[in-house]
Structure 1
Amino acid sequence: MAINHIEWRTLRAGDTPVLAELFRDAVMQLAASHYDEAGRVAWAASADDLDAFGARLTQGLTLVAVSSDAIAAFGQLHPADHVSMLYTAPAFAGQGIAWTLLARFEAVARAAGTPVLTAHASASAKRSFERAGFHVLEEENLDRNGVSLKRFRMQKPLVAAHIPQ
């Protein structure tokens, strides 16, 4: 699917069910090459409780990418120095939307004077974060519903270190 135009907006009332579906689809389809089915099912279950998922979406800044009335991706900056969610609909994967979303979060963080932007990236999202200038600090294992999932603690410095002369 070619992207003609992306509209960027913040989270709206009523977005939760659509974003939960996008989240599940992204986890089940796009993460298949990095996580087994049990891991993806455990991870995707995070969106089963729509009230809890919706409450999580309202924290911090949640941005939504829309193309031709279809939600293409969403992400969240929470707190102000941490990318806590980054998901692309499978039909829009590989088109640079995740990278653009990360650039938008970086701009917000820079404007706020945040020195470092951090994230816990899945194995499937790691490449997008690396393309956006993040580097791995360490590999971690996260427990989701009794299943261990590999992820990466990553960061991107936003303020150059001051070197005394």
Structure 2
Amino acid sequence: MNLANLQLRAPHAEEFVAVAALVHRAFDAAVAPGLNAEGRATFYAYAVSEAIAGRHAFEHLTLLAERDGQLLGMVQLKLPDHLCMLFVEPAAQGQGIGCALVEAIIALACAQQPGLRTISVNASLNAVPAYQRYGFVPMSEERVRNGIRYVPMEKQLDA
């Protein structure tokens, strides 16, 4: 893992276009090939910069990961307890950035909501192994909604 000089922070308003571009690159590389046209269109509508910024402004926590001024990843959590986006630049995957983002957003959510017991995520099929490494467990079999294929997962938090 290479977490040297990695900074995790909240986004600035002018960064959401770059955040959306990172999300699209990571999605196109790993998730889009396993979805039909409906699923891709559903995701692209969800992942435009205005939508990401709007969620950040209303009942969502967002963190970015950057190193030396380069945006490497993002995570967004819908309050109180649902991880709705986690994307890492394809060339930077496997370096612990996703794990660092998940741990940081959970810590932030717990600080804002004492007593939080679980975090859920609808993991894309390719991301299930990563979420399992982060401590999430599948709660059911694969599901499909609006063309998006996912596995509902949950992580128990320490009391």
TM band (smaller chain):
0.7 to 0.9
| Aligned position for 1:71 | 71
| Aligned position for 1:55 | 54
1:140 aligns with 2:139: no
| Aligned position for 1:123 | 125
Superposed, which structure 2 residues align to 1:40-119 within 5 Å?
Answer: 41-46=40-45, 49-59=48-58, 60-111=60-111, 112-119=114-121
Identify which of structures 1 and 2 has the higher relative contact order when contacts are C-alpha pairs closer than 8 Å and 6+ apart.
2
Paired residue total: 154
The percentage of aligned residue pairs carrying the same residue is: 27
| Aligned position for 1:163 | none
RMSD over equivalenced CA pairs, Å: 2.3
Q: Which has the higher helix share?
A: 2
Which residue identity does 1:46 align to in structure 2? A
- From the superposition, tell whether residues 158 and 53 of structure 1 become closer, same or farther in structure 2 (CA, over 3 Å): closer
Q: Which runs of 4+ in 1 moved over 3 A?
A: 36-41, 47-50
Q: Per-residue deviation at 1:4?
A: 4.0
* Residue pair 2:23, 2:47 contacting (<8 A) in 1 also: no
Higher mean alpha-carbon deviation, 89-98 vs 20-29, is at: 89-98
* Residue pair 2:3, 2:96 contacting (<8 A) in 1 also: no
> Which one has the largest radius of gyration?
1
- From the superposition, tell whether residues 24 and 44 of structure 1 become closer, same or farther in structure 2 (CA, over 3 Å): farther
Structure 2: 5+ residue stretches without partners? none
Q: Per-residue deviation at 1:119?
A: 1.0
| Aligned position for 2:34 | 35
Superposed CA offset, 1:39-81 (max 9, x none): 6742552267532332123332100001111100000121121
Tell me the distance in 2 between the aligned counterparts of 1:47 and 1:24.
11
Q: Secondary structure at the match of 1:52?
A: helix
Superposed, which structure 2 residues align to 1:5-44 within 5 Å?
Answer: 5-31=5-31, 35-36=34-35, 38=37, 41-44=40-43
